[in-house]
Amino acid sequence: MVSKAAPRKWPVRAIEVISFLAFLYAGLGYLNHAYLHWVDSFWLSNYSDRLAIVAFGILVVARQKNRYTRNRIAIMVSLTAVGYLVIPYFIGSSFFNNHLVGSVWFFAYLAIVFAFGRRADCSWYCPCVGIRDTVGNAFRANTVKGDWYWRLRHLKWVFMGSMLVYLLVVVLLRLSPDALAFLPANTTARYIYYFWGITNGLYFASFLVIPWTGNRNFCRYMCPWGATYGTVGNILGFFKIEADREKCIYCNLCEKECDMGVPLRKLIKGHGEIRVADCVGCGRCIQVCPKGALRFVDIRDYLGFPHKFPQPLKAKPAVKSREEVPTAVAVDAAGTDLGVKLKAVGQFSGGRLAFQGFQGDPGLERWAMLPAVLFHVLLLLF
Ligand code: SF4
Ligand code: SF4
Ligand code: SF4
């Protein structure tokens, strides 16, 4: 649970400092690549933020006790590493960059978002959530909340508008190269240049204020894709969080846990559901609810395949202490078969990554684990 009152002991401070340095590294990589050209190096380039995601992702996954969040972050780091780092670097293809406005994958992803909500991107497959749920994990408790910050969310429509204009330009030019010939020369090229310059600039600049705003500042206020996906998936599409007002005791724990500053308590009281463009579907609120009053709804519910994840932690106390975790696995450090059921993710053990096998969860999440498993196998090879 996020607690603002938690004392800041030195290990916490040290993690915050290291995390902030990692944000600086990611930002410098982008600056070097796009503008400064200090060195021609993979290690200080537009891949820097993805490298930080993988490094911190492994640590966050290894330390995360909450199974759903651990699986989600493992999958998100794996997918981001493959789609935004490995494939572009080694194969040179950016096909799986779902943020390439007007591309085939961009439209395909819109369909996925329509079915499953904004979370398909903003919790499972985006370098931004990648860095904010890993490097930014140390600053979750600093998330700014309250009426004023909630009202500020409307800023995002300006950025969404700028992307819709971009999309319109791309579509018109695809339909006919002369469609915008009436505009002064280079207008569309300049628009696209400034769109990416401003968006990327704000994205990396937002790293600098994360210690004071919380990890999701860009996602909340400035992301054109997040606003578009929120509209398509959460407002027009199938996704929402359903709340059982009979069970809810209005304890506010869910709201405290939310990195997007969604005023859950008020929405539950007023509407009995959370259907807002801002929800990134991380599931943290559902898990923290002591009464099991919240659940995700997406296309599966409409098709008659209701799913049961994530589950409230209190309702299903899976793991309470280190001793209860089947921590190791096929083999422990001494090579002894412990004869316990295998778990789904990798974790650090004695300074090395020990792959723990695959148990998975029923439903879609089980199949979504496969990229994470492949990723961890790859890690073992290097
Ligand atoms: S809001 Fe934007 S930057 Fe944040 S996770 Fe979603 S798509 Fe990525
Ligand atoms: S955590 Fe659960 S019980 Fe508490 S306010 Fe949220 S939905 Fe209601
Ligand atoms: S409302 Fe719940 S699922 Fe949505 S972003 Fe907040 S914590 Fe995550």
Question: How much distance in Å is there from the Cα of 125 to the middle of ligand 1?
Answer: 9
pLDDT at 104: 93
Question: Given the CA of residue 223, which atom of ligand 1 is nearest to it?
Answer: 2
* 122 CB within 6 A, ligand 1: yes
Strand ranges inside 217-342, DSSP E:
240-243, 273-274, 294-297
7-58 pLDDT, tens digit each: 567 788 999 999 999 999 999 999 999 999 999 999 999 999 999 999 999 9
List b or e across 163-178, with b for residues whose CB sees 16 or more CB atoms inside 10 angstroms.
beebbebbeeeeeeee
56-113 pLDDT, tens digit each: 999 999 999 888 999 999 999 999 999 999 999 999 998 999 999 999 999 999 999 9
* 25 CB within 6 A, ligand 1: no
Pick the more confident residue, 338 or 358.
338
Question: Given the CA of residue 252, which atom of ligand 2 is nearest to it?
Answer: 5
What is the rounded average pLDDT of the residues 224-252?
A: 97
Question: How much distance in Å is there from the Cα of 255 to the middle of ligand 2?
Answer: 8
For residue 319, is pLDDT > 50?
no
354-378 pLDDT, tens digit each: 333 333 333 444 454 565 556 555 5
Which ligand is closest to the CA of 245, given by its number?
2
pLDDT at 375: 52
pLDDT at 350: 30
Would you report the helix, strand and coil content of the chain in percent, each value rounded to 5?
60, 5, 40
Question: Given the CA of residue 224, which atom of ligand 1 is nearest to it?
Answer: 2
* 281 CB within 6 A, ligand 3: yes
The mean-pLDDT minimum among 56-60, 175-179, 281-285, 374-378 falls in 374-378
Contact 133, 284 (CB under 8 A): no
Question: How much distance in Å is there from the Cα of 222 to the middle of ligand 1?
Answer: 9
For residue 347, is pLDDT > 70?
no
CA atoms within 13 A on the CB side of 95: 5
Closest Cα to atom 5 of ligand 1: 122
**Pair of tokens at residue 225:** 């894709």
Neighbour tally for 291: CB within 10 Å: 15
Contact 319, 65 (CB under 8 A): yes
For residue 154, is pLDDT > 90?
yes
d(CA 376, CA 382): 10
d(CA 42, CA 46): 8
Residue of 76, 271, 284 best suited for mutating to test ligand 3, as the one with most atoms within 8 Å of CB: 284
Which ligand is closest to the CA of 215, given by its number?
1
Choose among 299, 292, 180: nearest CA to 237.
Answer: 299
d(CA 265, CA 243): 10
* 126 CB within 6 A, ligand 1: yes
pLDDT at 333: 46
* 284 CB within 6 A, ligand 3: yes
pLDDT at 111: 96
Closest Cα to atom 4 of ligand 1: 219
Of the ranges 12-16, 275-279, 313-317, the best mean pLDDT one: 275-279
Looking at the domain that runs over 234-302, which CATH code has it been given? 3.30.70.20
* 252 CB within 6 A, ligand 2: yes
pLDDT at 313: 80
For residue 380, is pLDDT > 50?
no
107-150 pLDDT, tens digit each: 999 999 999 999 999 999 999 999 999 999 999 999 999 999 99
The residues with which 346 forms a beta bridge, in sequence order, are: none
Name the pTM for this structure: 0.80
Average pLDDT taken over every residue of the chain:
85
pLDDT band with cut points at 50, 70 and 90 for residue 334:
low
Closest Cα to atom 2 of ligand 2: 289
Transcribe 206-235 into DSSP letters. Answer: HHHHHHHH-TTHHHHHT-HHHHHHIIIIII
Domains of the chain, by residue range, sit at 10-153+190-231, 234-302, 323-381
What is the rounded average pLDDT of the residues 294-301?
A: 95
pLDDT at 360: 34
pLDDT at 325: 38
Which ligand is closest to the CA of 290, given by its number?
2
pLDDT at 340: 46
d(CA 378, CA 75): 14
pLDDT band with cut points at 50, 70 and 90 for residue 328:
very low
